[in-house]
Chain A
Amino acid sequence: MAKRTIPLLLLSTLIAVSPSILTAQDAQTPADLMNMSLEDLMKVEIDSVFGASGYKQKVTDAPASITIITSDEIKRYGYRTLADILRNVPGFYVTFDRVDGYLGERGFGPPGDYNSRFLLLVDGHRMNDNIFGGIWLGMDFPIDIDLIDRVEVIRGPNSSTYIASALLGVINVVTKRAGKAKDLVVSSGVASYGTYQSRLSYSQRLDNGLAMLFSGTYYDSHGPDQLYFKEFDSPATNNGIALNADGGRADQFFAKLSYDGFTLEGAYGFSRQHDPTASYGTIFDDPEERIDMSSAYLDLSYDHHFGSDWGYQARLYYDKDQYRGVYPFDASPDGGPSHVLNQDLTSGQDVGASFVVTKKLPLGQTLIAGSEYRDNFQQNEWNYDAQPYSLNLDSRESSSLWGVHIQDEIPICKSLTLDFGLSYDRYSTFGGTTNPRAALIYHPLEATTLKLLYGQSFRAPTSFETYYAIPGVAEANPLLKPETARTTELVWEQALQKSFHLVVSGYYYPIRGVIEAVTDPASGALVYQNTGRVDLKGAEITLKRQSRSGWEAGLSLSLENARDLADSAPPTNSPRVIGQASFSVPLFKRTLFASMDLQYVSKRGALDGEPAGAYVLPNFTLFSPMALKGWELSASVYNAFNQIYADPASVAHVEDLLFQNGRNFSLKLTYHFFSR
């Protein structure tokens, strides 16, 4: 059991969030805005994106291709996890191995890569752990999805703005801010497979400017009673049926205090997920197999601006991430006991500091310069068998890194801007790396934006890839180098009549030195090497409409042409076509929203055997905000047509394909105590 490092008193002082009334997206109608006082209007934030340049700017000015998902959409479409949000981002797809979700983008989504090619930020705080470089998209992401104000997805490399590793994209989660009125919220949900979830939140902004938000969430799921795996269909392994082997639970705590430019924020999450797939050669249908994850952070930041011309942001942070996998296996073929519990553990801790200055220069230039230092003072991995005890791995590492970056936004002409960035990062492990980025942003017409983007980025080898070694199973490789990508993208954003918005983009991403697990012919063990070479090419088209009367619709089509240069074939788990659609309509004077989202993912190759077939997943949600004073109600059906579909499995699995859940339901009731 992972240690609970956050005391339960947090639970008792609970917790937090008012619908963030102060963004123009949330303030629903023009009439609502006019009813606000001028003072309050001056506090309304206009929807903007923070992540692409590290400072707030309008989406069409950002040097990247960006999608924003708001809390309003999260409610309307009944998204439950970060995975639900991201699978609706144009060109993205999510693969599940019944423990974790793996994010794919632009035809690149190796199963089991822990999402280390994406950078995940929460309010600017880095969430990737320092062992796997991973991010977690299910209940193991420590922030309750209902605390999110918006998610900004920035495609492409961003290494020149953030220290370390944003090879394929940045996901910036922005949490809600406390509203002026105190808000105490209780939210409870039930869902298929014996799933229960409750949240208690409290938020308030005091007259002296101190804003606070506290929240706690409890989640428990029994999981499907039976899951069938044809690879284990023999009488010795219960005819391939795993009984009650897919349950999980999670606890999440979040607190945020802000006052006069200072923000102190902390989160803690613990999750346990049982694994019914008998991964890593374990005993099938054994309820002991489970993955425990805990992650915690503390982040103190200070934002200061001198007039509108310059400002800085300073940040201090601490992270602690732990993992424990329990793997029951049968050692009798080697003369051991028939039931051995193998324990696989990691513990990572780091502290760091960053400082970023933004300055407006003459001729309309905006200069951003920053630096960051991080001390990964603990990067430990263990593996042992319990009873009889046998230590297989005891690796205690530490490392450090620092980086500097500079970016200048230079208006060449009134409608043409050059955005240039350069970064240097130095790792104690493999050395230094320099990465440039450039963007030309052209507004030829008021409603038209053209962006030509070029970037170079890298992903540092993770501690797991470098040091995980068990004789005969896995070998260390301290000589690993970073993966590199040189990406070119052309984006056309067009505002059309009647609030339609069109985005068309084409891209070319060659990625070199991709770190892959290969078998050492001498020992038969797996070792990570920089052997992969992948070319990603494709085009995406998205058409969206948000009407002021409250209905919205979106349609996107992505054509991906990814090639693994080793065999000129698409890499594993690379769909050629992704289609996404969403539609939401307000009913009964906006007291009810009926919404649908749909994902289509075409056939994808598996590591072995038959490919995973194409699937269509339509999900429907009815959401009622404040139909009765203070109450919100949400009812969803996911995979509504009970599509039978599977995702490719990773090297950890005997299975080639892992079948996913059929039609399932959820119901959620939320009550705001101080609702007026």
Chain B
Amino acid sequence: METRSAPANCRAAIAGLRGIVRAVIGLLVSGALLFEPFRAPAQGSDDAEYRVKLAFLYHFTQFIEWPPEAFSDAAAPLMICVAGPDPFAGEMEQGLRGRTTNGHPIQIKRLKPNDDLKDCHMIFVRSSERKAASKILSALKGSSTVTIGESTDFVTGGGIINLTLDQNKLRFEINLEAATQTRLKISSKLLSLAKIVNVGRIP
């Protein structure tokens, strides 16, 4: 449901309400253990969703070829960066342990404000990062970073891959135009499973 666009007049009100809710909830739960409002691993169903999404990201690394200069050496890690709250933190990312692509071990990290985006081979942009998304996409133009989003306007905004939910199953779209502007090679196998989006004709 992350596809809705918010009418502008709501935003101020929502921001205010959000502050109040955050304060109230913080107060209510601070006595109780374990509360961390900014980086909460999602509950049951979201958890399942991101488990599958992480598996998709892993498979994408197997079907995409990065140019050799994207890695400092043959054993350098392949970095998956997460922009926004990291839904994979903890035991979920342990599933990546020992997995490689072309000899590069796969690592995952949450992007911090001062990180160099070009160190990321893949960036997963959370749906909550609507504002940051356009900055990230413009900063990465012409680089060899695969941008992956999870909201409908992600590929129309210049992202390469977008994960969508269709009848509760995960699907993905590929923006071929954005992909051809990079030096990435995307295998035909991956393209055959994707919904190809031609940005020029998106309504």
Q: Which residues of A contact B (CB under 8 A)?
A: 23-25, 27, 29-31, 33-34, 36, 38-39, 41-48, 56-61, 68, 305, 308, 311, 363-364, 411-417, 442, 444-448, 450, 493-502, 544, 546-549
Contact = CB atoms under 8 A, between A and B. Distances in A.
B27 interface: no
A63 to B, nearest CB: 12
A499 B96 contact: no
Interface string B34-53: 11110111111111110110
Contact of A47 (B18, B25, B45): B45
6 contacts: A30-B96, A41-B59, A41-B170, A413-B7, A447-B37, A499-B47
Interface stretch (B86-94, B112-120, B139-147, B176-184): B86-94
A38 B193 contact: yes
* Closest 9 A/B residue pairs (Cβ): A30-B95, A447-B40, A414-B6, A413-B10, A24-B48, A33-B55, A501-B43, A364-B4, A411-B4
A59 B44 contact: yes
A34 B37 CA distance: 29
B48 A46 contact: yes
Contact of B45 (A34, A39, A59, A548): A59
Interface string B79-90: 000000100001
B202 to A, nearest CB: 14
Nearest to A22: B169
Contacts of B34: 496-498, 500
Interface residues of B, number: 59
Contact of A497 (B35, B51, B63, B94): B35
Contacts of A61: 1
A446 B40 contact: yes
Contacts of A448: 21, 25, 37
B5 interface: yes
A497 B41 contact: yes
A633 B52 CA distance: 29
Contacts of A24: 48-49, 51-52
B35 A60 contact: no
A57 B1 CA distance: 9
B166 interface: yes
Contacts of A445: 18, 21-22, 25, 37, 40
Contacts of B93: 30
Contacts of B4: 363-364, 411, 413-414, 417
Contacts of A30: 51, 54-55, 91-96
Contacts of A447: 37, 40, 42-43
B96 A46 contact: no
Nearest to B57: A34
Contact of A495 (B40, B94, B193): B40
B168 A45 contact: yes
B182 to A, nearest CB: 21
Nearest to B99: A34
Contacts of A29: 95
Interface in B1-39: 1, 3-7, 10-11, 13-14, 17-18, 21-22, 25, 29, 34-37, 39
Interface in B122-179: 128, 164-171
Contact of A496 (B14, B40, B59): B40
Interface string B44-77: 1111110110111011000100000000000000
Contacts of B92: 30, 548
A308 B166 contact: yes
A416 B10 contact: yes
A494 B25 contact: yes
Contacts of B3: 364
B159 to A, nearest CB: 18
Contact of B90 (A60, A414, A416, A548): A548
B37 to A, nearest CB: 6
A495 B85 contact: no
A41 B43 contact: no
Given A59-B45, A495-B40, A305 B168 contact: no
A1 B100 CA distance: 65
Contacts of A546: 44, 47
B92 to A, nearest CB: 5
A413 B14 contact: yes
Nearest to B20: A444
A363 B42 CA distance: 26
A546 to B, nearest CB: 6
Nearest to B127: A446
Given A34-B99, A415-B14, 20 more contacts: A30-B54, A31-B94, A42-B193, A46-B169, A47-B48, A56-B168, A60-B45, A364-B1, A364-B4, A411-B1, A412-B10, A413-B13, A442-B17, A444-B22, A445-B22, A494-B29, A497-B34, A499-B90, A546-B47, A547-B91
Contacts of B43: 60, 447, 493, 495, 499, 501
A42 B169 contact: yes
A59 to B, nearest CB: 5
Contact of B59 (A38, A47, A311, A417): A38
A46 B87 CA distance: 15
Nearest to A360: B3
A46 B170 contact: yes
Contact of A46 (B11, B21, B22, B49): B49
* Chain A CB within 10 A, most for which of B95, B171, B190: B95
A253 to B, nearest CB: 29
A450 B18 CA distance: 12
Contact of A48 (B25, B45, B52, B54): B45
A42 B5 contact: no
A272 B150 CA distance: 53
Nearest to B63: A38
Contacts of B5: 363-364, 414
B35 A496 contact: yes
B129 to A, nearest CB: 11
Contacts of B48: 23-25, 46-47
B41 A495 contact: yes
Given A24-B48, A25-B48, A498 B41 contact: yes
B14 A33 contact: no
Contacts of B25: 445, 448, 494
Contacts of A493: 43
B167 A56 contact: yes
* Chain B CB within 10 A, most for which of A34, A59, A60, A305: A34
A36 B17 CA distance: 43
Contacts of A442: 17
A415 B55 CA distance: 27
Nearest to A61: B1
A117 B19 CA distance: 41
Contacts of A46: 45, 48-49, 52, 165, 168-170
A350 to B, nearest CB: 30
A68 B47 CA distance: 14
Contacts of A42: 169-171, 193
